Amino acid sequence: MNLANSIVQVATAPVRVGLAVADLGLNIAGGTLKVVQRSLNDASPSSGTTGFAAMLGIDDAVDRANRLARLMDDDAPLGRALAPEGPLNQLLRPGGLVDQLTAPGGLLDRLNAQSGPVARALAPDGLIDQVTAEGGLVDRLTVEGGVVQRVIAPGGLADRLLADEGLVERALREDGVAEQLLSENGPVGRALAKGGLVDQITAEGGLIDRLTTDSGALSRVIAPGGLADQLLADDGLIERILREDGVADTLLSEGGLLDTLTDPDGPLLKLADVADTLNRLAPGLEALAPTIDALHEAVITLSQVVNPLSNIAGRIPLPRQRSRRSSSGPRAVVSERIIDEDR
């Protein structure tokens, strides 16, 4: 009998384990449903949760799930983006923008082609090599006495930006630019508000919707023969920029535009000196404000005095000038007599 009982217990052990696991799953599901119900009906869903749910941390998970669900509501920006026929669906659907970008012969293929812009930029003596080469742009920027060192030197541009009453201080102080931008009624708050700029851009029929339609601007840009093809074509804009003696070479070469701008006597540092001079002139201009106001009041007073004098002068009678009459009589013509001496 003991042997038979043992055989029965061994045979039914998987069933008992399965029932125990199922019971545990039902307990977890029941606790989760209770937490969800309380979170929907009560402001504090964490109160009164079962010990098992609290032990597993289900309360926090449900709270995060509720926040995510609120973000994905139909009238929320994320919900509109994920809705059927929404912007994300239009991007990822077959034949959509992502398919056009990643299709064979598409924009990514043309960019990563063997003779494409990326390959030319990464090729030996290409754009990356020119930028990182010895004596190149990065070298000139980071050399001793270069632009970066002058910017971070004591009294340099970084010090002037971070100084008391400097640009960063004025932007971040109370009632500064940052606070005005991020305030409740500021530009950022208005853009993120319901019905604001972000909602208008992501709404159905909005900017993103119009850009990502089959005949939208992005589709026309990456279509065969479109703007992307024209830019990446042989002798196109990117080709002319990246080729030897092109725009990039002219900008990055020794003695080029960037070298001229970053020169110690270049226009950038002169512009910084001009800004410093203007900052020093600001107190003097503020001191002239009362004088300018006094001059303005003096001009107004003089105008009030001159206007009556002008009216009086206009009423004084002036003698009329006699008009010269041209004589209408006949003009005497002196006749010349010719006397003949032989007569």
In a domain, residue 210? The reply is yes
**What single-letter amino acid sits at 224?**
P
Task: Determine, yes or no, domain membership for 65.
Answer: yes
At residue 174, the pLDDT reads 77
Q: Are residues 126 and 255 in the same domain?
A: yes
Range of the domain at 124: 106-280
Cα–Cα dist 30/50, whole Å: 10
Instruction: Give the residue among 65, 85, 63 at the shortest CA–CA distance from 74.
Output: 85
What pLDDT, on the 0 to 100 scale, is given for residue 159? 82
Total domains present in the chain: 2
**Distance between CA 95 and CA 8 in Å, rounded?**
61
Q: Residue 166 has which token pair? A: 């400097």
Q: What is the mean pLDDT of each run of 10 residues along the chain (343 residues)?
A: 51 58 63 63 48 60 74 72 74 76 77 77 80 78 77 80 78 77 77 80 78 77 80 78 75 72 72 78 79 85 77 68 52 49 48
- Assess if residue 285 is contained within a domain: no
Alpha helices in 243-266 (DSSP H): 247-252, 257-261
**Do residues 164 and 212 both lie within one domain?**
yes
pLDDT for the residue 329? 52
Answer yes or no: do 147 and 17 share one domain.
Answer: no
Cα gap 156→90, rounded to integer Å: 50
Same domain, residue pair 258 and 171 = yes
Does the residue 185 lie in any domain? yes
The answer to the question of residue 1 being in a domain is no
- Rounded Cα–Cα distance for residues 97 and 89 (Å): 10
Q: Note whether 120 and 211 are same-domain residues.
A: yes
Tell me, yes or no, whether 212 and 274 share the same domain: yes
80 located within any domain: no
Query: Does 65 lie in the same domain as 144?
Result: no
Q: Which two tokens stand for residue 188?
A: 């950022």
CA distance 183 to 180: 5
Domain membership flag for residue 245: yes
pLDDT at 46: 44
Asked if residue 54 is part of any domain, the answer here is: yes
Same structural domain, 34 and 174: no
Q: Are 64 and 137 contained in the same domain?
A: no
Alpha carbon distance 218, 211 (integer Å): 6
Which of 261, 280, 299 delimits the end of a domain?
280
